[in-house]
Structure 1
Amino acid sequence: MSVVRKDAIIRLHQQLLNRRDELKKLVSDSSEGSSASRSTVEDSGDAALRETRQGLESHLAEIEYKELMQIRRAISLIQEGRYGHCENCNKNIPIARLKAVPYTMFCVDCAQQRESMGLTNHDLASDWENAYEYEGRLNDQEVRIHDLDLEK
C-alpha cells in the first residue's frame, strides 16, 4: 500500500472519530431533551404539534444511529487493517469515494449493483440498547501509519 493511501486513511480515521463523537453528543443531548418536563395543559393543536415533533425527532435519531453504527464499523475495519476494501469484490475503494463517504463498505460499481437489487445494510441493529452495548465493546485506539497493514 502506498504511503499516500495510508496517510489518507489516517486522516479519514480522525474524521470518523470526530463525527462519531458529534453523533454521540447529539444522542445524549436528544435523550436529555426528551426527559424535560412539559405542561400538563395542552390543547389538541399543541398535542398534534408535540406528536409531530416527537415523530420527526425519532426519525432523525434513527438516521443518526445508523450513521453512528456505520462509522463504528469503519473504525473497527481500520483497526483490523481491512478498511478501504469493497466487501463485495474486495477491490480497493478509491480514496475519493472514501473521502466522500468515509464509512462506505462498497466501491461505486458494487454499491450501484446493490441499490439496483434493493439491498441495504440490514446487518446493523436499529435499537439504542444495542448501540450502547456495541459502544462498550469497541476499543477506539489511535491508529498510526506503521499500525496499518492494508495489503490484505
Structure 2
Amino acid sequence: MSRQETLKTLRKTLLRRRDALRKALVGDLSLLRELHQQKTGDPLDAAADTVQDELNSQLVEVEARELAAIEEAIAKFDSGNFGDCEECGKPIPLNRLKALPYANECIECKRREEMDLELEGSAPPWNRIFDMTEVDPV
C-alpha cells in the first residue's frame, strides 16, 4: 500500500473516531447535567457525586482535546498538509501515524520539544512520548 493510500485510510479512521467522540461527548455532557440536577440529602452521597462529577469532567476534557486534535488533522488532510511534521517539515513515519493518526510532529521533534519543556521545568504534556532506552535502571 502506498503512502497516499495509507493516509486516505487514516483519514477514514480519523473521521470514524471524530464521530464516535462527538457522540460520547454529547452523552458525557448530558450525564454531567443530569448529575448536577440531582439532589442528594446524605453527605456521603454528595461526596461520592462530587468525585464522580470530577472524573466525568476530566474524561470530557481529555475527549475534547482528542477531538480538537482530530479535527485539526482532518483539516490538514483537506488542505494537503496531513502527515508532515510541523517542526521540520519532513513526512511523519507511517508507523507513528498509524499509532497516533493525529500526530503533528515526528518522534524526533516531539522528543526535542519534551526535552526543552523538561529543561524549562514545565510539566510534560498529557500525551508525552517516552523513550525507554534512556531510562536508568533502578
Normalised-by-shorter TM-score class: 0.7 to 0.9
Flag the structure with higher helix content.
2
Matched residue, 2:20: 22
Q: Runs of 5+ in structure 2 lacking a partner?
A: 118-123, 127-138
Q: Distance in 2 between matches of 1:117 and 1:42?
A: 50
Q: Runs of 5+ in structure 1 lacking a partner?
A: 122-152
Matched residue, 1:55: 54
Contact 2:11 2:77 in 1 (8 A): yes
Deviations 1:4-50 (A, max 9, x none): 00100000000000000010001111122223242x34211101100
2:78 is the alignment partner of 1:79:
yes
- State percent identity of aligned pairs: 34
Higher relative contact order (CA 8 A, sep 6+): 1
Other structure's SS at 2:91 match: coil
TM-score by length of 2: 0.80
Deviations 1:83-103 (A, max 9, x none): 111000000101111000000
Matched residue, 1:66: 65
Q: Distance in 2 between matches of 1:88 and 1:35?
A: 40
**Number of aligned residue pairs:** 118
TM-score by length of 1: 0.73
